[in-house]
Amino acid sequence: MLDVFGDFSANDPAAALAEAAKGCPYQWQPETQALYALRAGDVRQVLTSKDFWSERAPDRRAAALSEDDRQRRTKLKEFLALWPVFSDGEHHRRVRRVAIRPLRQVVTPALLGSWERLAGRRLAEAGEDAFDWVDHIARPLARETIAALTGSADADRLIDLGGLVMNELATSRIEMARIDAALEAIDELRDWLRTALTDPPSAFVAGLAELWDDEKFGPDSATALLTQIITGAHDPVVTALCVAGERVTGDMLTELSPRTVREEVFRIATPFRFASRYARRPVTVGSHRLNTGDRIVLCLGTANLDPDFHPAPLEFRRRTTSPRSLSFGAGEHYCPGAPLAHAIVGVLLDSLADLGVHFSVENAEREPELAMLRYRRLVGRLVRHGSSRAVPRPSS
Ligand code: HEM
């Protein structure tokens, strides 16, 4: 059984996820009242099936809350229901269109150049000293992306606010402190957007006026899209950049193609480990019968380590037969930020390869929740390929 509420701060759960992928295809979870599907075949099938959608059914757990708590939780759920990923039908199609347009244009030569310079400079500066990869490499690179999407002036504040919303999504439990922090952050994001729309600092922000000014959508839909893009472009990207630091060795960089290493980084990372869906009609998954409204949690984190699709799943290797991993989902909600995420991780891997170094980890600390892989610290030092010696700092 996979312990979906376990504390994984001290141990990398990859082995537990791989074990669960092999051993137990389904798991009923009374606390979340959901069936968890763990094998890659089921996960892909449900993600691409018309029998399921993203719109949440009422959550029976809310009955145990006080009236005041229930109202605040409902307010947050109503806001989240406006995100592309948690919506369906006409609303989903429209907000996805508004999201995709600027995302197609954001990976410009200028952004690639700024990632390259930043990664090259920060790696060269690190020398032989121990440093925290999260603060020194991953977050600064992801910040450049938020700055490109929203204008640089307020990028740090927007990232912090997005992080508070993400913190609520990271747990499957109902925790009022996280809900309240997320609600406050959303109010601040809406206020920021109201002001920003008077003189938009980027094409993406300007595009949000289309939703803000449309009475069928309005400020909350525009703020919901802003929030999903900020959180999508930051937290999982930081995670993927951390996994590139933690797991990629010099041998991989010299012996595997850059594309293979990059694909394996995303497969092994799977920053979002779960995706929820709800049955639209009575339907069967494996031996389980779901009624209309029943919840199924698709475990991307185990599906990507399913040995039937990815033999020796914990190894980085060239994979010829298996389909691409499910890290970016599949079907109608397939992540529109995937090209951006591929590009930034590709730049970091190229920078490591160009300098002939990889990162050797001495201490890794993660957030405890299984639902999302997020690193607190990743301390280590750069090592030259083929040597166990740290890299001397370049003379200035
Ligand atoms: C490593 C980086 C990323 C990972 C692993 C990731 C993962 C995912 C996954 C799994 C989904 C689908 C969830 C579901 O079907 O329930 C998704 C959707 C989405 N992602 Fe990403 N994402 C990443 C980066 C980004 C970036 C960079 C952006 C934007 C700048 C972004 C924006 C979105 C949006 C807007 C959706 C909703 C799409 C829809 O519902 O139509 N993501 N992402």
**pLDDT tens digits, residue range 219-239?**
999 999 999 999 999 999 999
Name residue 365's beta-bridge partners.
377
Q: Is the CB of 335 under 6 A from ligand 1?
A: yes
Is the separation of the CB atoms in 219 and 210 below 8 Å?
no
Indicate the helix (H) or strand (E) that contains 105. Answer: helix 89-106
**pLDDT tens digits, residue range 119-136?**
999 999 998 899 999 999
DSSP 99-150: HHHHHHHHS-HHHHHHHHHHHHHHHHHHTTS-EEHIIIIIHHHHHHHHHHHH
The pTM score is 0.95
Centroid of ligand 1 to alpha carbon of 342 (angstroms): 12
User: What's the pLDDT at 231?
Assistant: 96
Q: Whose CA is nearest to atom 28 of ligand 1?
A: 337
Three-state secondary structure call for residue 376: strand
Please check whether residue 326 lies inside any domain of the structure: yes
- Categorize the per-residue pLDDT at 391 as very low, low, confident or very high, splitting at 50, 70 and 90: low
Q: Report, as an integer, the average pLDDT of 329-346.
A: 97
Centroid of ligand 1 to alpha carbon of 378 (angstroms): 24
Q: Report, as an integer, the average pLDDT of 150-162.
A: 95
Reply yes or no on whether the pLDDT at 323 is more than 80: no
Please check whether residue 38 lies inside any domain of the structure: yes
Reply yes or no on whether the pLDDT at 393 is more than 70: no
Please check whether residue 3 lies inside any domain of the structure: no
Q: What percent of the chain has pLDDT over 90?
A: 84
Q: Whose CA is nearest to atom 6 of ligand 1?
A: 328
User: What's the pLDDT at 10?
Assistant: 82
Is the separation of the CB atoms in 138 and 364 below 8 Å?
no
Q: Report, as an integer, the average pLDDT of 91-113.
A: 94
User: The tokens of 230 are what?
Assistant: 């900020």
Please check whether residue 4 lies inside any domain of the structure: no
> If you average pLDDT over every residue of the chain, what do you get?
93
- Categorize the per-residue pLDDT at 392 as very low, low, confident or very high, splitting at 50, 70 and 90: low
Q: Is the CB of 328 under 6 A from ligand 1?
A: yes
Residue 23 sits in a domain whose CATH number is 1.10.630.10
Three-state secondary structure call for residue 379: strand
User: What's the pLDDT at 57?
Assistant: 77
Residue 158 CA to chain centroid, in angstroms? 17
Q: How far apart are CA 327 and CA 239, in angstroms?
A: 12
**pLDDT tens digits, residue range 4-55?**
888 888 888 899 999 999 888 999 998 888 999 999 999 999 999 999 999 8
Q: Is the CB of 226 under 6 A from ligand 1?
A: no
Q: What ranges in 170-286 are assigned the alpha helix state H?
A: 176-196, 203-207, 209-212, 218-247, 250-255, 258-269
Please check whether residue 44 lies inside any domain of the structure: yes
**pLDDT tens digits, residue range 44-84?**
999 999 999 998 877 888 888 999 999 999 999 999 999 99
Q: How far apart are CA 68 and CA 76, in angstroms?
A: 13
Q: Is the CB of 372 under 6 A from ligand 1?
A: no
Tell me the residue range of the domain where 197 lies.
Answer: 14-384
User: What's the pLDDT at 388?
Assistant: 57
Top-confidence residue, 261 or 104: 261
Centroid of ligand 1 to alpha carbon of 104 (angstroms): 14
Q: Whose CA is nearest to atom 37 of ligand 1?
A: 85
Please check whether residue 396 lies inside any domain of the structure: no
Q: Whose CA is nearest to atom 40 of ligand 1?
A: 85
Q: Report, as an integer, the average pLDDT of 185-207.
A: 97
Pocket test for ligand 1, best of 335, 342, 372 (most atoms within 8 A of CB): 335
User: What's the pLDDT at 53?
Assistant: 95
Q: Is the CB of 329 under 6 A from ligand 1?
A: yes
Please check whether residue 296 lies inside any domain of the structure: yes
Q: Report, as an integer, the average pLDDT of 353-365.
A: 96
Q: Domain count of the chain?
A: 1
Please check whether residue 166 lies inside any domain of the structure: yes
Greatest Cα-to-Cα distance within the chain, rounded to the nearest angstrom: 68
User: What's the pLDDT at 56?
Assistant: 81
User: What's the pLDDT at 396?
Assistant: 44
Q: Report, as an integer, the average pLDDT of 253-262.
A: 95
What are the strands of the beta sheet with 357-366, ordered from one edge?
A: 131-132, 375-384, 357-366
Reply yes or no on whether the pLDDT at 172 is more than 90: no
